[in-house]
Amino acid sequence: MRHIAIVGSGPAGYYTAEAAARKWGDDVRIDVIDRLPVPYGLIRTGVAPDHQSIKKVSLRYEKTALTENVRFVGNVNVGSDVSVTELRDLYDAIIFATGAPNDRRLGLDGEELDNVHGSAEFVGWYNGHPQFAALDPDFSGRHAVVVGMGNVALDVARILSKTDAELDGSDIVAHALDALRGSRLETITIVGRRGPHQIMMTPKELGELMHLERASPKVDPADLPPEGDDAILEPGLRKSVTLLREFAAIPESIHGETPITIEFDFFANPTAMRGKDGKVAAVTVERTTIEKGRAVGTGETYDLLADLVVTCIGYHSSPIDGVPFDERAGRFPNEDGRILPGLYCVGWAKRGPTGTIGTNRPDGYAVIDIVNDDIGMGGRKRGREGFDELAVERGIDIVTFRDWQKIEQAEEAAARAGAPREKFVDIASMIAAKGK
């Protein structure tokens, strides 16, 4: 019998569990451990609440979770509730699928001012992640600056722009919906240090900006390279740039008609944030040019008014006691997912915060092939039996998949009209909902 612990129950965790269950059938026991009492990681707390069709991928993970030899072990923090050394005694392989839950920082003066938020905390806030539910961003100002030109920046700009009616059918949490109702934002400036040809935004997500009820996207035609230059771009990026050209063609009168304008500010590298009474008021940016694909400062600076700033510039993983960590790269050092004998990583914890949800599938299958080469038939570990003894000894209130289903039912029952669920945003309420 092989005993496998997967730490993290997001896409990387569940694709890996699926791969392990398929590879070894009855000859494996898989524990998917999560620090939260609820599964699915970024599907629950990262994917935008108005992208419900993407969230449906969790049905596939549910199927895996309900496989007989797979179990969900929620509400257990590896590193504090149980140590990695203890897990190594119990399991043949421990696979970290812990993602990259922490915001990268710009490292600028003024970044600590009030109402400057990283996207992990801001997205976590509107998605009801218990760690960020108390964030309380302030929408009383007129100007927001969103730093970064990736899909997370688009998610943030779109959620800041949508009306109540446009959020019908989403699972945005009540505290965020209430706060956004009072928003007085008029401009949302998406700032990129490079140009239109270097954006990380994908066409579907970019195209959504064209269909917002009260907001219109604005691109300065002068920022766009000659149209003929688009021919060298790969097809997805070319489509995105074509959309930017469409935004550039929107007449000024339309921007006058929509209460919110989403402005793209290219070739603009933030260099400082300035505040008033402790709260952010402006972002200073330096004009850049592109040399060999890199943004190079020109020395020319200007200020963007900013009552709210959300930085969407990527993430890093969390170190865990007993596991080597590469501080500079912000993830576990690994070779094809191998960290040390018996320790592996997968997904963003392995390769950094890139790719789509689906990228995690081949990743999960590949790491299981490697684990298979390393552990053969498995050893004499005690696996979940030993883990459960430890949990009882420590008084850890493990949340099982059956418990999660009770939490899920309670969230569905509490949903406002048209919404799929109203999430619990604190751990105590989740635990209470599962009952005894």
Burial bucket for residue 252 (CB in 10 Å: 0-12, 13-18, 19+) = exposed
* Cβ pair 399, 434 in contact under 8 A: yes
45, 98, 151, 284: which one binds ligand NAP (CB under 6 A): 151
| Least distance to ligand NAP, CB of residue 45, Å | 12
| N-terminal to C-terminal alpha carbon distance within the chain | 31
Buried b (16+ CB within 10 A) or exposed e, 155-176: bbbbbbbbeeebbeebbbbebb
| Least distance to ligand NAP, CB of residue 30, Å | 26
Give the count of residues interacting with ligand NAP (CB under 6 A): 23
106 φ/ψ angles, rounded to the nearest 5 degrees: -70, -30
x/- contact string, 110-149, with ligand NAP (CB under 6 A)?
A: -------------------------------------xxx
3-class DSSP state of 373:
helix
Interaction of residue 301 with ligand NAP, rule CB under 6 A? no
Nearer to ligand NAP, 52 or 77 (CB): 52
Question: Residues 205 to 224: which contact ligand NAP by CB under 6 A?
Answer: 205
Q: For the chain, how many helices (H) and strands (E)?
A: 16, 17
* Cβ pair 173, 422 in contact under 8 A: yes
Q: Which residue is nearest to ligand NAP (CB)?
A: 150
Interaction of residue 196 with ligand NAP, rule CB under 6 A? no
116's enclosing H/E stretch is strand 116-118
| Least distance to ligand NAP, CB of residue 194, Å | 4
Nearer to ligand NAP, 13 or 314 (CB): 314
3-class DSSP state of 207:
helix
Beta pairing partners, 331: 326
Interaction of residue 354 with ligand NAP, rule CB under 6 A? yes
Interaction of residue 358 with ligand NAP, rule CB under 6 A? no
353, 364, 378, 383: which one binds ligand NAP (CB under 6 A): 353
Interaction of residue 152 with ligand NAP, rule CB under 6 A? yes
**Interface with ligand NAP (CB under 6 A):** 106, 147-153, 155, 192-194, 198, 200, 202, 205, 312-314, 353-356
